Amino acid sequence: MPNNTKILPLDLKNVSHSINGMRYIKDITLQLGTNVNTMILGPNGAGKSLFLRICHGLITPSQGEVKFLGPSGAQPKKYQAMVFQKPVMLQRSVIGNMEFALKSQKIPKNRMVSIIEETLEATGLSRLAKVSARELSTGEQQRLAIGRAWSLKPEILFLDEPTANLDPAATHVVEKIINEIKKSGTTIVMATHDLGQAKRLADNILFLYRGRVLENSSVETFFSGPKNDLAQSFLRGELLWWHRQKLKPPSELRNH
Ligand SMILES: Nc1ncnc2c1ncn2[C@@H]1O[C@H](COP(=O)(O)OP(=O)(O)OP(=O)(O)O)[C@@H](O)[C@H]1O
Ligand SMILES: [Mg+2]
């Protein structure tokens, strides 16, 4: 365990989660370690968002154990942050949203000003600093949500499809920010549907399918040919939602 570790690694043991009698997360056992950046891949409904929420502590799983094993692991709140698939904005200005997050971490006022300036600059939102955050476009809200989480300097940052609504230029900007976040020592755990992005940002890939982790391997191993058949189909673009219900694909998609 590196000396400066506060809460990592995160240890999951036989974690399952059911909602209304349906098991959506199935018997996951793994560790998320310091400075191992993990990308989570898998088709819609595979359980990526549920998995991230369970790791972040927002959902207590129906079965199994989720524990941060580092010295401050019993109080992990201060050292982790999450950006949701649909960004959550307070009814305040862009700056107000940043201030609220930083105040919750008891950052002194003078440092707060420079952190906010730096973050808005890095996310390209400086000119919108005084605009109401809920008036921002979805992509701008996503950038603010990432900046806001980053400014808290968490040890681990969970990102749920942070570039899903972004144009190519904004995606590039966000990837640059994620790289900066990695360099600053924060460990990233992120769901994405963008295979190129996963290749660029990951050290490790988790492939989820119907709530199970079917592949947990280094990025090199995964992209050079995953062992699991379903992961191979997924990489070829074949593993889509109709496999869930054994339906025939719609005619316009038959050639996929
Ligand atoms: N609160 C809930 N109530 C009922 N079912 C839920 C709830 N949350 C998640 N599910 C179900 O759990 C399954 C996994 O959902 P999840 O959002 O984790 O998928 P995902 O892999 O993130 O998909 P996507 O790629 O579309 O974001 C889905 O079938 C979903 O319907
Ligand atoms: Mg999701």
Question: Rounded to 5 degrees, what are φ and ψ at 11?
Answer: -115, 120
Enumerate residues lining ligand 1, CB below 6 A. 19, 24, 42, 44-50, 85
Taking the centre of ligand 2 as the mean of its atom positions, its distance from the CA of residue 78, in whole angstroms, is 24
User: What was the pLDDT predicted at 173?
Assistant: 87
Q: Give the C-alpha distances (Å, rounded to integers) separating 167 from 131, 137, 142.
A: 21, 12, 12
Q: Where are the domains of the chain?
A: 10-86+156-253
Q: What pTM did the predictor assign?
A: 0.91
pLDDT digit string (tens) for 9-44? Answer: 999 999 999 999 999 999 999 999 999 999 999 999
From the CA of 193, give the closest atom in ligand 1.
Answer: 25
Q: Are 32 and 189 in contact (CB under 8 A)?
A: yes
> What's at 19, amino acid-wise?
I
Fold of 10-86+156-253: Rossmann fold (3.40.50)
User: What was the pLDDT predicted at 255?
Assistant: 47
pLDDT digit string (tens) for 62-85? Answer: 999 999 999 999 999 999 999 998
Q: Residue 254 above 60 pLDDT?
A: no
